[in-house]
Amino acid sequence: MKTVIGLEIHNQLASESKLFCACPTKGYRTAPANSLICPSCLSQPGSKPWGINAKAVGNVLKIALALNCKIILDKPVFVQRKHYIYPDLASGYQRTSKPIGENGELAGVKIREVHVEEDPGQYDLRTGEVNYNRSGVPLVEIVTDPDFTSADHARRFLEELSAILDYLGARRSEPGSMRVDANISIEGHPRIEVKNINSFKGVLTALTFEEARQKNLVKHGAQYGQETRHFDEKRGITIGLRKKESVDDYRYFPDPDVPPMVIGEKLVEKIRRGLPELPAQKRERFVRHYNVTGEEAFAICLEKEYADAFEEIAKDGGAKQAANFMRGVVKKQLNYRDLAYRDSKLTVKTISELLAMLEKKEITEKVAEKLLIDFLDKGLDPRKNAEKEGLLGIHGSQELEAIVERVISENKKPVEDFRKGKAEALHFLAGQVMKLTKGKASPREVKEMLEKRLK
Ligand code: ADP
Ligand code: MG
Ligand code: ZN
């Protein structure tokens, strides 16, 4: 049974004002309810949209170009009204443009289209309160072909897409600004759309759940139809909402109040020339120039600020070690705390300091990780912390040699066993040494010292 998945991704665009009026978008989540509104974004009688926000459209163009789309040039791109009734929509319709770019491609997945639309307001089901501050915040919608074959494939794609949007500086990057509708079917069977998932983890959970649920239905020969489902994040399940609406239900038609956009080649070329280096290009360059592995480059380049930090460290040499450390230990501890590098206290200085101590063999990787954890959680300076805790410099020192001697003299039986050819005895002895050094020595070095001493 083959799984088929396609995504519709919405992300709020970087823009100071709303899509069809001058109301600010900044702080709409925290401002008092219904304070960032005007007659236009509420579609009050007699009000008209002001015309479309050029900055928002520019950001959509950047995104469409970065996704290798063909831009719709020199012909009218209409803004349509998509009708539905829900308290979050003061006008009874949402404005959504026809495609601005089409037929793109990213990581082997076809991008069907990219367009701009307005966010609706927010309706609180529990209290019945409506807050229109979000009404009219510009959104990009990116629609893929059903090219994904697993939930994990979809999640990886979203990571890459998300990195691109950040590199472009084209979106609001705050939690909840990306919302995904995930379509999933078992090949030859009806399609289910899971609406409004707002995290990568959520996409993975929702799709994994749906895949199992649908496979089970198919296995038992159950009949089911196209459906829209809601994702219950807390419980990790999807719940049936309604039969899927068809395009006709929305009664789309061009909005008579908004003149269609016409996008010219000059503008597009200007935007194309201004595109920054994108994650895929940066990865390729890192592999070529710094000789790091593809996986290291992938992990490091997911966040531009992190990639920049790597490059600043790597340009003075030690790129291999830096990549290994930043892809491994550092990334692990950041991920564990659900922290982006840019939101953490970490800086180039701190990472370099840890790397320098590693390089000089003053500390082991284990100790480096401990120092990093203390830095992230308690703000402790790595070197001072290492000095205070006595974690520095056990490597190859007299202190270490003394410990080796002590372990040898205190463990006659294992020493004898080892000399008789019992290799495991060495593990035991090495373990004793590690214990006495409180993990400060490198296990490999300890083993070598023991072997040399006992042979
Ligand atoms: P609609 O008109 O209902 O919005 P579209 O054809 O525009 O449907 O597709 C919407 C999304 O559904 C796209 O992301 C597409 O990739 C995905 N999709 C289409 N067919 C399937 C399918 N059989 N299984 C899973 N996803 C699909
Ligand atoms: Mg659709
Ligand atoms: Zn307004």
pLDDT tens, position by position, 278-301: 999 999 999 999 999 999 999 999
Residue nearest to atom 3 of ligand 1 (CA): 246
Q: For residues 69-104, b (16+ Cβ closer than 10 Å) or e, as one string?
A: bebbeeeebebbbbeeeeebbbbebbbbbbbbbbeb
pLDDT tens, position by position, 221-256: 999 999 999 999 999 999 998 776 666 788 999 999
How far apart (Å, rounded) are the C-alpha atoms in residues 441 and 180?
48
Q: Which residue has the higher pLDDT, 6 or 178?
A: 6
Q: Average pLDDT for residues 133-154, to the nearest whole number?
A: 97
Q: Among 246, 211, 197, 209, which residue's Cα sits nearest to residue 226?
A: 246
Q: Ligand 3 center to residue 37 CA distance, Å?
A: 4
Q: Ligand 3 center to residue 91 CA distance, Å?
A: 13
Ligand 1 atom nearest the C-alpha of 143 is 14
How far apart (Å, rounded) are the C-alpha atoms in residues 142 and 206?
19
Examine the pLDDT at 354 and tell me if it is beyond 90. Answer: yes
**Token code pair at residue 301:** 């380049």
Q: Is 449 in the pocket of ligand 1 (CB under 6 A)?
A: no
Examine the pLDDT at 398 and tell me if it is beyond 80. Answer: no
pLDDT at 244: 66
If you search the block for the tokens 């088929």, which residue do you land on? Answer: 4
- The CATH number fitting domain 398-454, selected from 3.40.50.2300, 1.10.10.410, 3.40.1520.20, 1.10.3720.10: 1.10.10.410
Q: Which residue has the higher pLDDT, 181 or 437?
A: 181
- The residues whose Cβ lies within 5 A of ligand 3, an ion, are 21, 23, 38, 40-41
Lowest mean pLDDT across 51-60, 90-99, 397-406: 397-406
Examine the pLDDT at 396 and tell me if it is beyond 80. Answer: no
- Break the chain into its structural domains and give their ranges: 3-272, 279-389, 398-454
**Token code pair at residue 73:** 């040039």
**Token code pair at residue 50:** 């002001």
pLDDT at 395: 59
Mutate to test the pocket of ligand 1, among 111, 114, 145, 183 (most ligand atoms within 8 A of CB): 183
Examine the pLDDT at 328 and tell me if it is beyond 90. Answer: yes
pLDDT at 259: 95
Q: Is 447 in the pocket of ligand 1 (CB under 6 A)?
A: no
Q: Ligand 1 center to residue 311 CA distance, Å?
A: 40
- 198 SS3 class: coil
pLDDT at 413: 92
Q: Among 178, 68, 173, which residue's Cα sits nearest to residue 112?
A: 68
Q: Ligand 2 center to residue 5 CA distance, Å?
A: 13
Q: Average pLDDT for residues 402-419, to the nearest whole number?
A: 91
Q: Is 96 in the pocket of ligand 1 (CB under 6 A)?
A: no
Q: For the chain, what is the radius of gyration of the CA atoms? A: 29
Share of the chain above pLDDT 90, in %: 81
**What are the distances in angstroms from CA 432 to CA 335, 414, 442, 446?**
33, 11, 13, 10
Q: Among 449, 1, 434, which residue's Cα sits nearest to residue 216?
A: 1
